[in-house]
Amino acid sequence: MKTPAARILSTEDDSDTRDLIQFVLEREADDAEHAVTLARTEKFHLYLLDAWTPDVAGADICRSLRELDQTTPILFYSGASSDADQAAAIKAGAQGYVVKPSNPDILLREIVGLLDRN
């Protein structure tokens, strides 16, 4: 029996990175408002966030998503590599953090792990 595809909502402002991760995504949002609107109106299996977006910090997006949905896993995939950035993401409600650039297999392994645990 074929496993159904996971629906993953991604917030990523860099078009090259969006292209890199698009193969695992059903929908993507390029800004916070769009992401929250999609989360409010559609069901996703995972949220993939960037810590740095032009309009809103990823941790703020994460908190907004947690107000709507306390159970869907949130994974950050970001160039923000400091311990403070990672701690802010986890404090806001994320379950994981992958620093980019990284091998796409690492990102995929984190996604699959979070989906399996959920």
User: What digits encode the pLDDT tens for the residues 83-94?
Assistant: 999 999 999 999
Residue 4 confidence (pLDDT) above 60? no
Across the chain, what does the average pLDDT equal? 81
State the Cα–Cα distance between residues 37 and 47, nearest whole angstrom. Answer: 13
Instruction: Write down the pLDDT at residue 104.
Output: 79
Q: 20 pLDDT band (50/70/90 cuts)? A: low
Is-cis flag, bond preceding 101, omega within 30?
A: yes
The per-residue DSSP string of the chain comes to -PPPPPPEEEE---HHHHHHHGGG-SEEESSHHHHHHHHHHS--SEEEE-S--SSS-HHHHHHHHHHH-SSS-EEEEES--SHHHHHHHHHHT-SEEEESS--HHHHHHHHHHHHHH-
User: What digits encode the pLDDT tens for the residues 23-32?
Assistant: 445 455 667 7
Instruction: Write down the pLDDT at residue 26.
Output: 47
pTM of the predicted structure, to 2 decimals: 0.77
Q: In one letter, which amino acid is 114? A: L
Domains by residue range for the chain, with CATH: 11-102 (3.40.50.2300)
